[in-house]
Each structure stands twice: as structure tokens, then as C-alpha cells.
A and B are shown apart, each in its own frame.
Chain A
Amino acid sequence: MSVSNQSGDGGAGSPESSQSSVLLWLISGSVFFGASFQIGTPLIQSKYDPGPSFISMVLGIILLVGGGGIWVARFIAKKLRRANSSNQRPIKMIGLVLSYIASIPFIGFHIATLVFGIASMNILRVSPKLSCIATAVLMLVVHLVFVEMFGIQLPKFSLLEYFRA
């Protein structure tokens, strides 16, 4: 958990990561504050109810003020700098997970998992033979638990469905 590696920067985040953090607060604050004006007033709303947009406006302001405050504090301290990461492995993994999820509706859960399992373990330095065995076991466990036991219909290979039809 992040709380485990806290340095004492007094609550404004560490310098190496402050820019992305500040942008996150400012962007999310702007989106929620701006979009709260798009929320209409329902006909059934009580005249004493502050309405569905009230809290979101407050939250938007908190995020904007908080993000702005951190930015100003960092700017004054001239600590603002871009987070740098030369580590490629998480990027590969994120790409792989992204492709995996995107492919599930088209090639089905089982085929997508087979490809993902072997590729992911390969990236994570598991031997190819062990990757194949582990992926097969993983798929079997998922199938038994979710499909057989709980009757959850995992996405199927849509082309197969097409041919069946």
C-alpha cells in the first residue's frame, strides 16, 4: 500500500511525481465541476433538496483548489518535474492486458486467456513449458469455478457462434 512508503513531505506528494498528480487533480476537478452544470433539475426535486449537482460541484471545487494549491506550493519550491520511468516491462504488461481485454469479445475468453497467459508469463520470465501448463491449469480452474459451478457465461468465440447460427 502506498501508505507504507511515505516520506515526510508534509502532505503535498513527492516531487518526482507531483506534476502528474497535480494534472490529475486539476483535470478531474475541471471535468466534475464543468460537467455538474450539465446536470438538469429533475421535475420531482424537492425545493429543499440542494439537487443532484450540488455535491459534485463542491467536489469539483475541492479537487481544483487542492490540485492548484499543490501546484502553487511546488512551483514556489521549484520542485515540479516530470516523473520519469525508463522501465519498459509495466508498459508491455499494460499493453498486453489492454489487448487481452479488447480481444475477449471477439475471440472469446478461452482463446484470449490462452494467448494472454502464455505471453504474460513469457514476459515475466516463466519458462515456455511451464507457461503452457500453468495457463492450461488456470483456464481449467476458471472454467470449473465460474462456468460449471456458478453458471457464469464467459464471452465465447463470436465466429464460432456465427458458424453455428
Chain B
Amino acid sequence: MIELLEAIPSLFSLQILVPWLLAMVFGIFVGSTPGLTATMAVALIVPFSYSLEKEAALAMVIGVSFTAIFAGDIPATFLRIPGTPASAAATLDAHELAKKGQGRQALLVNLLCSALGGVGGVILLMYISPALAKVAVGFGAFDYFWLCLLGLILGVSVSSGRRPTLGLLAASLGFAFAMIGRDPLTNQERFTFGLSSLEEGVRFIPAMIGLFGMSEVFRAVGNMERRRPDRIKAGPFRIIRSLGLVLRHFPTFIQSLLTGTIVGALPGAGADVAAWGAYGISEKTSPKESGNFGKGEWKGVIAPTSANNAAVASAWIPALVFGIPGDAVTAIVLGVFLVYDITPGVELFSSGQGSFIFAIALVTQLLLIPAGLIGIQFFSQLVRLPRGMVLTSVVVFSVVGAFAMHNSMVDVWVMLAFGLLGLRLENAKVPLAPLILGMILGPKVEVYLRQGLIAANGDVSEIVASSVSMVLAGVFILTVILTMSRQLVRKER
């Protein structure tokens, strides 16, 4: 702790602060552009960092890695296009709040939660790194299988509201779409129907842009004729009120911070799983407000945004201790560490380099607030433009965003197809979030199940052999029973 406090003042020099803040604004800009991901933001900043001193370079790279996740929430709130997969859970309530004229307020709460969640995540990272890393590394394939399945069912249960059956079907459909392409274990082609363009599978980003962004455009265009359109209002910008909201929901914040930290520490789980998990737990532990989730509930904003940034911090636990990156962003950052001769492991902490990295990560959370405010203000001005202009811009950015990932027109067609599917599903009152959740978590569920079965020589009883698996399976079954019984009670009423 003393080493950390000693390291912080050394960061406050112009040579470090200027590129650091610029990199964070860049992260906000990239993360908030549909189609450009947090991974891309970090990857793009790396070449710029090479020309700088080691300290400034590390500050830039770490700064961007923490910024882009929050940035993804900005278009998610105003346009219902999650900038990153980790922002999808926050879209549900934040966009509803934006429709009620509280867009900026929602983003301000989001920003505070992201910064505080990040601070909490970094502090927990410092203190519980070794212990948590050991637990995470001890997780077997079936433990991960149950964890992902639990994340899936929690997400389906929450985001489906009163329609868990439809939510489950939507998740199954998303899961099935994710199976298009090559089988991750055997490389066998599945559902490609001889089309080489499908061998790579349905890419997640174009699908997400289409499902949330394009379908929203088509729906908004329809609403322009039928009735007064859902006009998004930036709304007031009250910092004190936002802080009050966060403090009022402090237990939710702490609960989500812990959820995010634990989930983020598991290699491969990532900020998206953390966000959905925290959202689900928050709904389950808030019986009074559970009916408001998905309709503009503040807890629905606080939970995922605190958890996703905390998860970004804790994803570093296995990365720093064992050199196992938790996600793609951490993998790139780890690569940069290696360029500067920073080797993960016990030596990292004994040499004092660990304290320096923690100091950067901690101050980054504080710098996130001014950088985030710039992003919120900029986007708030955009939504004041005439609706027709905004909708047209969303289409163009969606097309370019889908294309930009792999320079492929197939992705653009995938985006449009998912846009039309999203419109059809929304007209049929089918929730969209479970579909995207099925696409994210489905492949992980499949891979861990099959890997576990192979490792257990086909012994199905091994599926709940470990204590972690038993607990997770128990919570999973309990969630299913609670969700279905709630539906039955509602039917009887």
C-alpha cells in the first residue's frame, strides 16, 4: 500500500498525463463508435505507445483498456447500440431512462459506477489477487460450464421479464446462430450450407449492431408515422443527484462490484458475463423493484456498469499472477508489459512494478470521470439533432461499423439480417437480450461441456463432482424453479 502511495505522485507529470488523458479520450471515442471494440481501441493505441517513455506508454495502454468499456455504454444509452459486448446488459435500463429524458443522468450514474467499480476492482485486485487467482486456476471445465449456464439463465430470467419461455427460445436461437461456422473442438463445418463466407461463423459484433441498432431504426421509423416517436432526450446533468443515486443503491453497487471481481478473475469469463451476472443477481435480490427491471430501473444501470469495470480490473488477477489473460483486452496489455520487460509472476510484486501498475490503474479510474464527461457531453449534443438525421447516421455507422471489423460485406448483410430479425422479434414481443446472451455464452457452454466430458472419459456423473460445480448447479436449478414458478403464479392470477 505504501509503495502504491509512493508511486502515484510520479505519475503526475505532463509527459505522462497528456498522452494518458488523450489516450483515454481516444478510448471513449473508439468505444462509443459502433463496430469499434475495446480490443480494437487498445490494439490501435499500442503503436503510438512505442514512441513514448515506458511509464507514459503503460499509462496510455492501461487507460484505454479501462475507458473503452464505459464508452460502449454511451451509444447503448442514447442509441440502443452497445459499443462493446460488456455494454449489452446496461442497454436495457439505460436506454429506457434515455427515452424518459434521463439519458445524461443515466450516463452520469454509469460513469460514477464505472469509476468507483474500477477503483474497487483495482483495490480488490491488489489485496486478493493471489487467493482469487488460485481459485480461478482451480476451476475445471464443468465448473466453467455451470458458471456460463448460470450466467445464461440469470440473464434470460431477468431480461425476459414476464416472458421467460420466449426468452429461453430466443436464447436457444442465439445459441444456434453461434454454432454456424467451424466447430471449435474438431474444426468440423456446421450449418455453412457450402458457403465459404459462413465458415467463419456469424460474427458477434455485426449481429449485435443489427439486433439492437438497425432494429431500433426500423422501429423508430414506424413509430414516426403511427404516433409521436420515442424521442431520446439528453436530459439534465446533475452530478450531485447522480452521486445521491449511487449512494442510495450502495448495496447494489457493492454486490455488483464483488460479482464483477469474482467473475472477471475467471479466465475467459470476461466483463460481459460479469455485467449480465450482476444484473441478474441485482434483480433477484430486489423483489420490490424486480418488475421495473428493463423499464428504466436505476439498479439496472448501477449493477452491470459497476460489475463490468470491476471485471476489467480483476481480469488482471490471473494475468498478473500467472500470465493467463482473462480476455482479449488483457492479452494485448500483457503483450505490452512483455515488451517493456514486465514479466507476470511473483517477481512483479516483489520488484515494485506491481505497485506502479496498480497506481496507473487506480488513477485511470479517476481520469475516467473527466474523459467520460467529455464523451457524454459530445453525445448529448448529437441526440439533439433532428430524428431523421440521427436515424440515417445510425444506419450509415452501423453499415460502416459492421464492415470495418473484417472489411467484409458479408458482415454488413449479417447486420441487416439481424436487424430485420430483431424487428420481427420485437413486434412479436420477444425479448432481444436473451438472443444476444445465447450468442455470447452459448459457445462457451458447449465447449466447456464437451471438454469436461472428454476429460471425464464420458462419465456424466462428473458434471457435478466438484464442490464448485455442485453449488453452481444448485443455484442454476433454483433460478430455473423460481423463474418458472413466478410465471405460473402470474398465470393463476
Contact = CB atoms under 8 A, between A and B. Distances in A.
B81 to A, nearest CB: 12
A1 B96 contact: yes
Contact of A40 (B188, B400, B423): B188
Residue of B172, B187, B433, B457 contacting most chain A CB atoms (<10 Å): B172
Contacts of A21: 166, 425, 428-430
Given A62-B168, A98-B416, A47 B428 contact: no
Contact-residue size bin, chain A (C-beta under 8 Å from the other chain): 35 or more
B453 A49 contact: yes
A55 interface: yes
Interface of A: 1-14, 17-18, 20-21, 24-25, 28, 32, 35-36, 39-42, 44-56, 59-60, 62-63, 66-67, 69-70, 83, 85, 87-90, 93-94, 97-98, 100-101, 104-105, 109, 113, 116-117, 120-121, 123-126, 130, 134-135, 138, 142, 145-146, 150, 152-155
A95 to B, nearest CB: 11
Contacts of B168: 62, 66
A3 B430 contact: no
B317 interface: no
A6 B166 CA distance: 12
Given A10-B162, A56-B190, A48 B429 contact: no
Interface in B395-448: 395-397, 399-400, 403-404, 407, 409, 412-413, 416, 419-420, 423-433, 446
A118 B184 CA distance: 44
Contacts of A11: 162-166, 487, 491
B136 interface: no
A52 B433 contact: no
- The 7 A-B pairs of least Cβ separation, nearest first, read A124-B388, A3-B294, A21-B428, A48-B458, A52-B183, A17-B428, A42-B186
A2 B429 contact: yes
B44 interface: yes
B334 interface: no
Given A42-B183, A101-B416, A89 B491 contact: no
Interface stretch (B222-230, B336-344, B372-380): B222-230
A56 B179 contact: yes
B66 interface: no
A13 B186 contact: no
A156 B460 CA distance: 55
B103 to A, nearest CB: 14
Given A2-B432, A145-B33, A89 B225 contact: yes
Contact of B425 (A2, A44, A47): A2
Contacts of B427: 17, 20, 83, 85
B428 A3 contact: no
Given A8-B162, A154-B400, A101 B221 contact: no
A120 B395 contact: yes
Contacts of A60: 176
Contacts of A142: 396-397, 400
Given A13-B166, A120-B388, A47 B173 contact: no
B141 to A, nearest CB: 12
A126 B224 CA distance: 12
Contacts of B219: 90
A124 B416 contact: no
A66 B413 contact: no
A126 B386 contact: yes
Given A83-B428, A126-B388, A10 B454 contact: no
Nearest to A17: B428
Nearest to A89: B225
Nearest to B191: A35
Interface string B453-493: 11011100000000000000000000000000001001100
Secondary structure call for the B interface: helix
A106 B52 CA distance: 43
Nearest to B212: A1
B91 interface: yes
A130 to B, nearest CB: 7
B387 interface: yes
B80 interface: yes
Given A24-B428, A48-B458, A4 B294 contact: yes
Contacts of A146: 400, 404
B404 A152 contact: yes
A60 B399 CA distance: 31
A134 B387 CA distance: 12
B284 interface: no
Nearest to B457: A48
A55 B179 contact: yes
Contacts of A1: 80, 91-92, 95-96, 159, 294, 431-433
Contacts of B295: 3-4
B160 interface: yes
Nearest to B438: A59
Contacts of A101: 399, 409, 412-413, 416
19 contacts: A1-B294, A1-B432, A3-B295, A6-B429, A12-B165, A14-B428, A21-B166, A21-B429, A28-B173, A48-B454, A49-B450, A49-B453, A52-B183, A52-B186, A101-B413, A104-B399, A116-B396, A123-B388, A152-B407
A47 to B, nearest CB: 7
A35 B310 CA distance: 41
Given A6-B429, A39-B190, A83-B428, A12 B166 contact: yes
Contacts of A98: 416
Given A17-B428, A41-B188, 12 more contacts: A3-B160, A11-B164, A21-B425, A39-B191, A49-B454, A63-B172, A94-B420, A97-B214, A125-B224, A126-B388, A152-B400, A154-B400
A17 B429 contact: yes
B472 to A, nearest CB: 19
A3 B191 contact: no
B175 interface: yes
B188 A3 contact: no
